[in-house]
């Protein structure tokens, strides 16, 4: 009787832990878009190297959007390197939590597109 109880308890705990990590791994809290000047892209970390970036969304960097990029998104990483200092629009997913080997933030960029900056003044000739 006691042995059966211990086995059921262990299996229940393992199932709950597995379900928790499955939700963290697969579920997203929100999805969206942000635009701004790409001011930083870096590969950093001591134990786990992750791709991190920053997007300036305001005048003089008053509002900064920090994000991570998964290693599997090599195309996005290369586009970010090429678009450094440009005005871009990013598509991102916000997760409930992150793993240390994924990145520092809960925001993960999945796509990046160059955009025209709304701050550039157009002169009509």
Q: What ranges do the domains of the chain cover?
A: 28-114
**In which element (H, E) is residue 55 found?**
strand 50-56
CATH superfamily label, 28-114:
Nucleic acid-binding proteins (2.40.50.140)
CA 10 vs CA 2, 7, 18, 55, 119: distances in Å: 12, 5, 12, 45, 59
Query: Which pTM value belongs to this model?
Result: 0.77
Q: Using one digit for the tens of pLDDT, what is the confidence trace for 63-117?
A: 899 999 999 999 999 999 999 989 999 999 999 888 888 888 999 999 999 988 7
Q: Using one digit for the tens of pLDDT, what is the confidence trace for 9-50?
A: 999 999 999 998 888 888 888 999 999 999 999 999 888 999
């Amino acid at each position: 009787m006691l042995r059966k109880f211990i086995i059921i308890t262990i299996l229940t705990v393992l199932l709950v832990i597995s379900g928790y990590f499955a939700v963290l791994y697969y579920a997203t809290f929100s999805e969206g878009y942000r635009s701004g000047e790409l001011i930083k892209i870096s590969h950093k970390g001591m134990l786990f190297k992750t791709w991190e970036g920053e997007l300036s969304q305001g005048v003089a960097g008053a509002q900064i959007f920090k994000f991570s990029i998964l290693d599997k998104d090599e195309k996005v990483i290369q586009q970010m390197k090429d678009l450094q200092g440009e005005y871009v629009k990013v598509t991102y997913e916000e997760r409930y939590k992150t793993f240390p080997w994924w990145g520092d933030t809960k925001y993960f960029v999945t796509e990046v597109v160059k955009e025209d900056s709304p701050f550039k003044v157009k002169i009509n000739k």
